[in-house]
Amino acid sequence: MKQEQILVLGATGKTGRRVADRLTSMGKNVRLGSRSASPAFDWHDPQGWADVLKGISKVYITFQPDLAVPAALEAITAFTKEAVAAGVQQLVILSGRGEAEAQRCEEIVMSSGIDWTVVRCDWFSQNFSESFFIEPILSGHLAVPRTETRVPYVDVDDIADVVVAALTEAGHTGKVHELTGPDLLTFHDVVNEISRATGREIQLHPISLEEYAAMLEEHGVPEDYRWLINYLFTYVLDGRNSGTTKGVEQVLGRKAKSFAQYAVETAATGVWTN
């Protein structure tokens, strides 16, 4: 019998790369969804989706840049329709916690008529080591608004483990797994943990949303990303997510990784000091 093939979108990104690696080491047949793969997958090129979906039975969907952006609903609707038409039997979608727009995209997947699982996550710890906050951490100065908001950062290794469980084990169909880390941290706490783990001094500079927007523009951040960052800081970091869940523990039967542990492990890689 032919082995099932699993498509991982965002396969070079923070969660996708880890999900693809785990599935491959389990001996699963994985197709990488990337603009540099062959066939290529690009959210901006729906013409190319049919080739990427050929022979696929399960898909891990990660949207770029975020399910909250206005274009996401149309793209997720079109992709879901095409996946179902291509014979896909299961969709697992990565979503953001506390984002009404993302939840509208989840609903498209939930009403697809095929098996679905939503993995709804809080902010990733790895935003400080593999994404937009690494540069300020390296410079020793993190200037952000909302420095008092408490966030339950979740580790992407835990997210990847949950996604792989949803794709390979029974019992996840029709479920929303809401994932957070085990503790709530302000930006002050984050900077303290990373300073402690690296032995480097990192200063936090509280600024207003307006100052932050102007700073991003000055640094040449593209307009759509500035829109997204403004949205995240205005709505998602307003304190609505200042509570933890037991999602990781419920799915994996073990505790979620703490930010302190993430900081120690990440410091040991040298990414914050090289």
Q: Shortest gap between Cβ of 270 and ligand NAP (angstroms)?
A: 20
What dihedral do alpha carbons 203, 209, 210, 212 form, nearest 10°? 40
The residue within the footprint of ligand NAP, chosen from 6, 7, 28, 34 (CB under 6 A), is 34
**Is the separation of the CB atoms in 93 and 68 below 8 Å?**
no
Question: CA neighbours within 13 Å on the CB side: how many for 217?
Answer: 8
* Site stretch for ligand NAP (CB under 6 A), options 13-21, 133-141, 169-177, 194-202: 13-21
The residue within the footprint of ligand NAP, chosen from 59, 109, 121, 160 (CB under 6 A), is 121
Stretch 60-99: interaction string toward ligand NAP, x if CB under 6 A: --xxx-xx--------------------------x-x---
Residue where the block lists tokens 């999602």:
247
List Cα–Cα distances, 116 to 41, 113, 166, 170, in angstroms: 21, 9, 9, 12
The answer to whether residue 230 forms part of the interface with ligand NAP (CB under 6 A) is: no
* Distance between CA atoms of residues 39 and 31, nearest Å: 9
The residue within the footprint of ligand NAP, chosen from 1, 25, 44, 70 (CB under 6 A), is 44
Q: Shortest gap between Cβ of 201 and ligand NAP (angstroms)?
A: 25
Q: Shortest gap between Cβ of 163 and ligand NAP (angstroms)?
A: 11
* Distance between CA atoms of residues 266 and 130, nearest Å: 10
Task: Indicate the burial class of 219 (C-beta count within 10 angstroms; 0-12, 13-18, 19 or more).
Answer: exposed
The answer to whether residue 54 forms part of the interface with ligand NAP (CB under 6 A) is: no
Q: Give the residue with the Cβ less far from ligand NAP, 22 or 201.
A: 22
SS3 of residue 56 by DSSP: coil
The answer to whether residue 59 forms part of the interface with ligand NAP (CB under 6 A) is: no
Spell 188-207 as b/e; 16+ CB within 10 A means b: ebbbbbbbebbeeebebeeb
Stretch 253-272: interaction string toward ligand NAP, x if CB under 6 A: --------------------
Q: Shortest gap between Cβ of 35 and ligand NAP (angstroms)?
A: 3
The residue within the footprint of ligand NAP, chosen from 15, 90, 117, 245 (CB under 6 A), is 15
The answer to whether residue 187 forms part of the interface with ligand NAP (CB under 6 A) is: no
* Distance between CA atoms of residues 74 and 272, nearest Å: 38
Quick one: tokens of 43? 């959210």
Give me the residues that bind ligand NAP (CB under 6 A), please.
10-16, 34-36, 41-44, 62-64, 66-67, 94, 96, 121, 123-124, 127, 131
